[in-house]
């Protein structure tokens, strides 16, 4: 009975966090880590648990352990798009951008509707200095999830770097129309103020 309860918990964690990796560290709860470790001890071939463990290691900044966990998940279930997306995040956080891009593209090959993979792919392209490809990936993500303000915000930042201030302004205004959280709203308004300042300097 105890094993069944634990495996049920793992399934819930896995559904909630299947593609929960992002290019930032949120901090993992020690209890979450132990849940996945216990599940793997019960069933070493539980790909969901290996994926969940990788996500928790990623939150702790332990990227090599995260990569090893995601590799094992992929070995057990090579057709799961989210696992490639997640290992791509860990590669990206390790500075291995080419491997990260390859992984995110594989995730999209398996599931073209994986919006998180487009988001993470765009981050990698931007980190490599390929703004055009980053814009393309974020534009795709934005069309797929039009209510997510992260995508137009990042597009606004890209257009600012490209000095296309009209497009940047358009994207930032879109962010505000989506009613972002206070931190994002403040960052967006500061970006709009910067654009206005640049416009005044040109006069």
Q: How far is CA 77 from CA 9, 47, 51, 83, 104, in A?
A: 20, 7, 10, 9, 16
Query: Is the pLDDT assigned to residue 10 strictly greater than 50?
Result: no
Q: Is 192 among the domain residues?
A: no
138 belongs to a structural domain: no
Tokens of 6: 């634990």
- The per-residue pLDDT for range 146-176, each reduced to its tens digit, is 999 999 999 999 999 999 999 999 999 999 9
**Residue 164 burial (CB < 10 Å; 0-12/13-18/19+)?**
middle
At residue 202 the predicted structure's pLDDT band, cuts being 50, 70 and 90, is: low
167 assigned to some structural domain: no
pLDDT tens readout for residues 58-117: 999 999 999 999 999 999 999 999 999 999 999 999 999 999 999 999 999 999 999 999
**pTM of the shown model:** 0.84
Question: Quick check: 90 and 66 in contact, CB under 8 A?
Answer: yes
Query: What is the spatial distance between Cα 112 and Cα 102, in angstroms, rounded to a whole number?
Result: 14
- b/e string for 16-51 if b means 16 or more Cβ within 10 A? ebbbbbbbeeeebeeebbebbeebbeeeeebbbbbb
Question: For residue 161, is it within any domain?
Answer: no
Higher per-residue pLDDT: 18 or 57: 57
Q: Is the pLDDT of residue 4 over 50?
A: no
What domain range includes position 74? 2-113
Q: What is the pLDDT of residue 199?
A: 73
Q: Is the residue at 58 inside a domain? A: yes
What angle do helix axes 115-127 and 131-144 make, rounded to 10 degrees?
160
The domain spanning residue 93 has which CATH number? 1.25.40.10
Residue 164, token pair as written in the block: 């296309």
Q: How many domains does the chain have?
A: 1
In a domain, 144, yes or no: no
The answer to whether residue 12 is domain-embedded is yes
> What's the mean per-residue pLDDT of the chain?
88
- Classify residue 156: in a domain, yes or no: no
């Amino acid at each position: 009975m105890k094993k069944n309860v634990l495996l049920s918990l793992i399934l819930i964690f896995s559904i909630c966090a299947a593609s929960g990796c992002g290019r930032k560290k949120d901090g993992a709860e020690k209890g979450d880590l132990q849940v996945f470790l216990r599940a793997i001890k019960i069933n070493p071939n539980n790909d969901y648990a290996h994926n969940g463990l990788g996500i928790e290691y990623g939150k702790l900044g332990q990227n090599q352990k995260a990569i090893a966990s995601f590799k094992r998940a992929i070995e057990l279930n090579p057709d799961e798009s989210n696992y490639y997306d997640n290992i791509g995040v860990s590669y990206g956080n390790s500075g291995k951008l080419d491997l990260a891009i390859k992984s995110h593209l594989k995730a999209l090959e398996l599931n073209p509707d994986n919006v998180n993979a487009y988001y993470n792919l765009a981050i990698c392209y931007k980190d490599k200095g390929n703004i055009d490809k980053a814009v393309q990936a974020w534009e795709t993500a934005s069309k797929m999830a039009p209510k997510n303000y992260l995508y137009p915000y990042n597009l606004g930042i890209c257009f600012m770097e490209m000095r296309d201030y009209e497009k940047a302004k358009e994207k930032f205004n879109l962010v505000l129309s989506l009613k972002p959280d206070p931190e994002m709203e403040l960052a967006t308004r500061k970006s709009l103020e910067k654009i206005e300042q640049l416009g005044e300097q040109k006069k």
